[in-house]
A = this chain, B = another copy of it.
């Protein structure tokens, strides 16, 4: 098969890779129907995360099951399936508590499997994959693919930030995760959703997804604007979907005492001062999103066409042009790039 490898900073190649095979009885092989480039793929692409060898890329996927191991019970050949970037048995104590991204038998799809490819081996298929009610219409595929990571991650962030009716929510980060955190906040009943964004196209989608206010300020100026909008108190719920020192501080300072921060930007070079955090009196929760927890609900909302998260894909390319996909995301010409094998 053909698949994507990252050789070094900004060096993405689409080339021949060995076909994956069933190696454990709990595996499934899926034919990828759609995959995409993630904001988190840009960290190694930009050289901020180092590589020791060419690395298979991609961790978002929808596909059709081609083969299953002898122990697979819930998933069968021919199913249309969605999985998250975290492999999970969905039966261990941590999974049952809703943290499938930290399954005791888990692993991440990134760095080993690589779903920016024609085929992928998915371990622990019964726990990891969720089948749709039938073959989806083609127009639903982008939304189902979004559920694989960015929608699930935005939803987790909103959940971690305790978003609900009557709440004022701030969303920091206008990438796909941030935009879908806006969508999630609307679905969860937030009263006001303040999206921080400077780019017209992203602002427009944020409004379409339910943002009631758009702020273009950043850092301390952004914090001040949020305070102005919240009687000086700060927001009840703040979603952090960037992962830098600046964005984390902006999140902490935009949250009222007793408020909640859901942070899902992968933290890079972030150091939090204990004293500031202590006196901020916020709730802080985040990490790799347990997307699997939310998948059945998200699939249902998409299937019923209640939500359209697939709109974050503003560029669609043949998988063979994956390198151009990375460039478009890196240069922020595209919010998110869908790749068709």
Contact = CB atoms under 8 A, between A and B. Distances in A.
A39 interface: no
B233 A281 contact: no
10 contacts: A94-B233, A101-B257, A102-B258, A248-B274, A257-B287, A266-B278, A270-B273, A278-B288, A282-B285, A283-B284
B269 A274 contact: yes
B273 A280 contact: no
A281 B99 contact: yes
A105 interface: no
Interface string A252-290: 000011100001001111111111011111111111101
A258 B104 CA distance: 13
Interface in A140-154: none
Contact of A267 (B94, B269, B274, B285): B274
A270 B258 CA distance: 21
Copies in the complex: 2
A97 B167 CA distance: 12
A332 to B, nearest CB: 23
Given A101-B281, A278-B288, 4 more contacts: A94-B257, A243-B274, A267-B277, A279-B287
Contacts of A274: 243, 245, 248, 267-272
Q: Tell me if A's interface is mostly helix, strand, loop or mixed.
A: mixed
Contacts of A248: 274
Contact of A93 (B233, B272, B281): B233
Interface string A306-335: 000000000000000000000000000000
Nearest to A234: B94
Contacts of A278: 243, 263, 266-267, 270, 286-288
B288 A279 contact: yes
Given A272-B277, A274-B248, A285 B283 contact: yes
Given A272-B271, A274-B267, A285 B288 contact: no
Contacts of A256: 94
Contact of A270 (B94, B232, B275, B285): B275
Shortest beta-carbon contacts, A-B, top 6: A270-B274, A267-B274, A102-B257, A281-B287, A99-B258, A272-B272
Interface string A89-114: 00001100111011010000000000
A284 B271 CA distance: 15
A52 interface: no
A199 interface: no
Contacts of A281: 99, 101-102, 286-288
Interface in A16-62: none
A74 interface: no
